[in-house]
Amino acid sequence: MHEQFNFIIEILGTISFSMSGSFAAMQKRLDPFGVLIIAFVTSVGGGTVRDLLLDIPVFWMHDLLTCGVIIMTSIFTMIFKSLEKNFKVTLFIFDSFGLGLFTIIGIQKGINVNIHPLICIGLGTITGCFGGIIRDILLNRIPLIFRKEIYATACIVGGSAFLLMTKFSPLSYTFIQIFTILLIVAIRTFAVKYHWQIPKFYGHDHSSEM
């Protein structure tokens, strides 16, 4: 049961980030090949970094299903882009769900190789965030994780809740997974709606004096 649900989480996460990457690329008016590349790196970027850190085979290089899901999702998104008038809202929705789903996957990968819980949270954050970082860098914009929006913090809070609940809560593992995903999505949603921000550093711009 756990393995089946984990498989569903991986597929949903891949679809979410693939659509997120596709919509972000279409916002920048990339051609279909560019949209596919951005969708691909958004979907597998975080997991690739995670697997390299764990020194295990990179997941998508031995899984044609993942590559197929990304390609089909990207094509679907491009075909039906005319049905979606607000790219920004759609990008936010899929990016938030991808963040929650992939955070869970990263934490579970860490648990499976018996590393420290704090490192597991870091792996979850990397899995959730790094695909979006690579996407934004390729699209020539400041990654969300480095801006004022609550992004990585949502992964850390959700990941911490996940580990605490699995250790101390009598609730089922599947319920805890679903709760954690929704918690991360909720934190992102409320942060944007109510303008929650992490304090930023302000420095003097010496370039203006040149």
pTM above 0.85, yes or no: yes
- On whether residue 103 sits in a domain, the answer given is yes
pLDDT digits (tens, 9 = 90+) for 122-139: 999 999 999 999 999 999
Q: Which domain holds residue 186?
A: 2-195
- On whether residue 75 sits in a domain, the answer given is yes
Place of tokens 């303008």: 195
**Number of C-beta neighbours around residue 121 at 10 A:** 22
Angle, CA 182 vertex, CA 102 and CA 37 arms, to 5°: 35
For residue 196, the model assigns a pLDDT of 77
Are the C-beta atoms of residues 100 and 125 closer than 8 Å to each other?
Answer: no
- On whether residue 209 sits in a domain, the answer given is no
For residue 83, the model assigns a pLDDT of 60
pLDDT digits (tens, 9 = 90+) for 43-102: 999 999 999 999 999 999 988 899 999 999 999 998 887 666 667 787 888 889 999 999
- On whether residue 204 sits in a domain, the answer given is no
For residue 149, the model assigns a pLDDT of 66
Provide the pLDDT confidence category of residue 200 given band limits of 50, 70 and 90: low
- What lies within 8 Å, CB to CB, of 22 at 6+ separation is 35, 38, 39, 73, 74, 77, 78
- Domains: count for the chain: 1
What is the torsion angle, in degrees rounded to the nearest 10, for the CA atoms of residue 112, residue 171, residue 95 and residue 42?
A: 10
Provide the pLDDT confidence category of residue 165 given band limits of 50, 70 and 90: very high
- On whether residue 97 sits in a domain, the answer given is yes
For residue 197, the model assigns a pLDDT of 73
Residue 103, judged by CB atoms within 10 A of its CB (0-12, 13-18, 19+), counts as: buried
Say if residue 208's pLDDT is above 50.
Answer: no
- On whether residue 186 sits in a domain, the answer given is yes
For residue 147, the model assigns a pLDDT of 72
- On whether residue 90 sits in a domain, the answer given is yes
- On whether residue 60 sits in a domain, the answer given is yes
